Amino acid sequence: MANNKKSREAAPVPSLWRLLLPLVLVAGAVVVWWFSMRTSEPVLPPVAPAVQPVAVTPPALARDSVVLQDRHYVGREVCAGCHEQQTRDFDGSHHDQAMQEASGVTVLGDFNNATFRFGGVTSTFFQRDGQFLVNTLGPDGRQHDYVAEYTFGVYPLQQYLLAMPGGRYQAFSVAWDARPAGEGGQRWFQLNPDVNGDDPVKALHWSGRQFNWNLMCAECHSTNLERNFNAATDRYDTRWAEIDVSCESCHGPASDHLDWAETPDAHPDMANTLGLAVRFDEREGVTWQHDENGTPSRSKPRDSEKETQACAACHSRRAQLFDDPQDAGLLVENYLLATLDQGLYYPDGQIQDEVFVHGSLLQSKMYQAGVTCSDCHNPHSLELKVPGDGVCLQCHQADQYQTPKHHFHSSVQGSACVDCHMPTTTYMEVDPRRDHSLRIPRPDLSVSLGVPNACNQCHSDETPEWAAEHVEQWYGHVPQGLQQYAHTLAAGRAGSVGAQKDLLTLLADEGQPAIARATAASLLQAWPGPEVAQSLFVALRAKDPVIRLGALEAIGSYPPVTRWQLASPLLDAPERVVRLQAAAQLLDIPPEQMQGNDIEKLRQAQQQYLKAQQANADDPSAQLNIGLYYQARNQLALAEDAYAQALKLDPYFIGAYINLADLYRASMRDPMAETLLNKGLEALPQAAPLHFSLGLLKVRSKDMTTALIELRRAVVLDPQNTHYRYVLAVALNSADQRAAALALIAEGLDLTPANQTLLTLQQQLQNKDATQ
């Protein structure tokens, strides 16, 4: 018995001081979260800054033909001279109307002194002297008249860009429902009504960063957008080659193409590219064929991803990492794609938040078979190439699939291909978007994991159990489909016992989509160790950059020497996004500690990382990264300036508060850290990370009463956060409140029953009770 007791005590309860890890690690997680949340659309969830009072009519935005290296943009009119059919298809498309000058032709909303009231705010839409104006509540809490200079989008809703000081334009959060009146349209409505009601979230006011056109929206609604932010004057001089998403948005600057077209024999070096920055030729000469079972396949394998990469640059959930798009803005050269992260996707990979198609398509069997965007969509009109089921029947034979033997429905309703394989989720209140992962319905996963399913989207009066029973009766078994990772990702997110093994298996499974394997890699950061490191070593050398990027995300907690061994080869990766993310994992390593050529290699990588952040000086997250860069070098004054600039750009940026407070703490300025965190909580009283950080600071100052209050507040605000709960339980135990600690752990295990961290701590505390 004595020996047993001794062995149980070999893993003691962690001392609370050991939990006071540098808050930079917490902020690093915030940075990753923020990047994953950023999109090209005007309406996003949390955090946004306040802005200064409004000037009624600033200068209109500039429209220039912009030179890019040796190539330059020539404009749609020049393209139309030869490409007549493509121009006819493009005219009137959503790309053509992505952004337009406000006029009697382009404005769809009612500006005839129409009023709209929501959350105690009255907005009036009217015209004066040929301008379209909105009178509404400004960032200073008073009513102002704002000029709506541009329309943004066209259907099913249209937003309006309101002119602000400093060359800024804001996408107003009251939008026009462009649908027919019979469908509930032809009205003004409030975007994000849950945060704009009687108790609005100030961080999401329409004048804040999340609705800023220059930074958040512009690049995907105009051609060759240049933000042109001047950090010294805090002003934008934003310019474009063309106001909408025109030809050269996808094909790149066309001047070389014109030279080739005029005298092709004089440009033999352009014979393969036709002088285009990106030539979309994946489908040239390709047909879809059928084997004896009717299974379709490409006549030749797809050997590039230029087309999907070009579309994904905007039609994806991603972070912009550079301010100088290359290769016509291909995703992998310019942006960091979000993986199947919690909050963005359900654990089975279905769309949850607004993720803009590409991440879903990557999960599909169609993508693995070689399907590209233009197999289904006309790339110039954006319409389906064939309406309804016809677009699927281009490849899938009707006698196999357009029959009750396949869809098990006797009526038209519910028998369409998209009803089962591409269910919709409505975003921006009126915009239903289809899931492009093209999966089979899995109501059994709804039963086990609580994810949605296509069956109950139509049969909303029935239960998932009812749907699962019918599906199993139809097939005689539970159909699985391609995507085999729902339970693995759910367990990984929950930190469950045994999740590490399943995540390693998924990471190594070449039959599963790369984005799912990348997600598994990123989740493995919770299990650092030799076995995981070995698998990450292999993943970091994968052909697909998505897997390499996911693996890079997982190595942050390894010692510097291990991180160098894992990440340094990727400093020479062909994709600059991969090179940048590899450098980000090596910022804390002084180049002087390296040997030979590695000294200059690391120094250049770190300098290029800093340069990329500085090029995005108007982006608070870039300023935060600059601060992290300098803080890693103990250049605290420069780091402090960067964090302060991030808060100036966005007074609601949680990561900047946390990191600046940690800098104050590290430089023995705890009172300043406390003042700053309290200031952040005044702006963001529901921000769990700020309460958590303040609690840790109070632990440091031995004010356990206040520390427990703040740590508990963080758990209440974010009950699913295992780390918050773990730290509070350790704090309670340290304060001789073991019963309360065990109760807190039990509550957490009710939410995540197999969480390994909580189970281990529970056992440690119970064993300690048994020895006393």
User: How far apart are alpha carbons 690 and 170 in whole angstroms?
Assistant: 28
**% of residues, the chain, pLDDT over 70:** 91
State residue 227 phi and psi, 5-degree precision: -70, -40
- Per-residue pLDDT tens for 707-736? 999 999 999 999 999 999 999 999 999 999
pLDDT of residue 30: 35
In this prediction, residue 324 has a pLDDT band, given cuts at 50, 70 and 90, of confident
Scanning the structure block, which residue is given the tokens 């921000």?
687
Query: Residue 466: which H helix or E strand, with range?
Result: helix 464-475
Closest CA to 689 of 703, 677, 700: 677
3-state secondary structure of 744: helix
pLDDT of residue 3: 38
pLDDT greater than 70 at residue 423: yes
Per the CB < 8 A criterion, the answer to whether 764 and 11 are in contact is: yes
Q: Which pTM value belongs to this model?
A: 0.90
- Per-residue pLDDT tens for 233-284? 999 999 999 999 999 999 999 999 999 999 999 999 999 999 999 899 999 9
The burial class, CB within 10 Å (0-12 / 13-18 / 19+), for 45 is: middle
Per the CB < 8 A criterion, the answer to whether 126 and 113 are in contact is: yes
pLDDT greater than 50 at residue 64: no
Q: What stretches of 114-230 adopt beta strand conformation (E)?
A: 114-118, 121-128, 131-137, 143-152, 157-163, 169-171, 174-177, 187-190, 229-230
Sketch out the chain's domains with CATH numbers.
Answer: 1-23+655-772 (1.25.40.10), 62-248 (no CATH), 288-440 (no CATH)
Which distant-in-sequence residues (6+ apart) come within 8 Å of 77 by Cβ?
none
Find the mean pLDDT for residues 217-238: 95
Token duo for residue 610? 């800093």
pLDDT of residue 18: 34
In this prediction, residue 8 has a pLDDT band, given cuts at 50, 70 and 90, of very low
pLDDT of residue 69: 54
User: How far apart are alpha carbons 481 and 322 in whole angstroms?
Assistant: 38
- Per-residue pLDDT tens for 168-210? 999 999 999 999 999 999 999 999 999 887 778 888 999 999 9
Per the CB < 8 A criterion, the answer to whether 748 and 742 are in contact is: no
User: How far apart are alpha carbons 30 and 658 in whole angstroms?
Assistant: 9
CA 452 to chain centre: 21
CA 442 to chain centre: 25
* Buried/exposed code over 512-540 (b: 16+ C-beta within 10 A; e: otherwise): bbbbbbbbbbbbbbbbbeeebbebbeebb
Per the CB < 8 A criterion, the answer to whether 209 and 49 are in contact is: yes
Other CB atoms within a 10 A radius of the CB of residue 353 amount to 18
3-state secondary structure of 127: strand
Closest CA to 289 of 395, 400, 401, 402: 395
